[in-house]
Amino acid sequence: MQKALVIDPGKCTGCKQCEMACSYENEGVFNPSKSRIRVFDFHQDARFVPYTCTQCSEAWCQQACPVNAITTDASGVKVVHENLCVGCKVCTIACPFGTINYNASTGKVIKCDLCQGKPACAEACPTSAITYQDVEQSGFAKMQLWAKKTDAGNTDRQIKTPTGH
């Protein structure tokens, strides 16, 4: 069954526990700059929006990689193979969402791989602003339809990041 991170910005308090959990899970340090998820702070609106790789079906990062260091696993997750990555950063330029980043300490790129099916960000979120759910159970098709009808300024809608789409 396909799973997705479901992000509800209306529940996000900006605590950045997701960033801390991600950096610790993937890098062994509590350092938000090494996180694969970011919390964007809309100061003027007093809103916070977590965002990370949406595992695009187009995967421009993957298509742009000159050494094929980004592959798609069986569940549709785009994975960076550190042993193949040459740190050219072409994928960071290709990603229209800015969710693949260069890690200066390793000289390689990093992106969300959903922690091999157990996302640390979702487990650490104290308000359930980030959850990991079966796509079918979360009403993905209904949310897509609703998102198309919702005005762009509405920050209370949920943002889904499905795997394999």
Interacting residues of 66 by C-beta distance below 8 A, sequence separation 6+: 86, 88, 90
pTM of the model: 0.78
In the structure, what pLDDT confidence band is assigned to residue 139 with cuts at 50, 70 and 90? Answer: low
**Residues with Cβ < 8 Å from 88, sequence gap 6 or more?**
66, 67
pLDDT tens by residue, 126-135: 999 999 998 7
pLDDT digits (tens, 9 = 90+) for 33-89: 999 999 999 989 989 999 999 898 889 999 999 999 999 998 889 999 999 999 999
DSSP state at residue 9:
G
Q: Does domain 3-162 sit in CATH 3.30.70.20?
A: yes
| Under 8 Å between Cβ of 124 and 21 | yes
Segment 19-23 long-range contacts (CB within 8 Å, at least 24 positions apart): 19/121, 20/124, 21/120, 21/121, 21/123, 21/124, 22/112, 22/115, 22/120, 22/121
Report how far residue 84's alpha carbon sits from residue 110's, in angstroms, rounded to the nearest whole number. 13
